[in-house]
Amino acid sequence: MKVIVDTNIMFSILLKDKSKERDVLFLSEDLEFSSCRFAIVELFKHKEKISKFSKLTEDEILTSTTFWQRQIFICSLIKP
């Protein structure tokens, strides 16, 4: 099954200690995830704020984001 992951889901996963979404995103082999490049850019843009509210280190946030880049098909919108 194909699943679109938006920025809000990614933020939510990072801000919660434990979440079902995180388990699905990290452990599912039956799902194909897609998102836009903008979602990853937003995570990098707000990593300090995410770190403050989630109690994750910046390194942990970057590790998660890098992992997601490998797990999620990132679409780029190309202007004609």
Of the chain, the percentage scoring pLDDT greater than 90 comes to 0
Highest mean pLDDT among 26-30, 37-41, 74-78 belongs to 37-41
Sequence-separated (6 or more) residues with CB below 8 Å from residue 36: 74, 75, 76, 77
- Amino acid identity at 5: V
Q: Above 80 in pLDDT, residue 78?
A: no
| Each residue's pLDDT tens digit, 62-76 | 888 887 778 888 887
Instruction: Give the whole-angstrom CA distance, residue 33 versus residue 72.
Output: 5
Q: Which domains does the chain have, with CATH numbers?
A: 2-75 (3.40.50.1010)
The model scores a pTM over 0.85: no
Q: For residue 19, what pLDDT band results from cuts at 50, 70 and 90?
A: low
Query: What's phi and psi for 21, nearest 5 deg?
Result: -60, -40
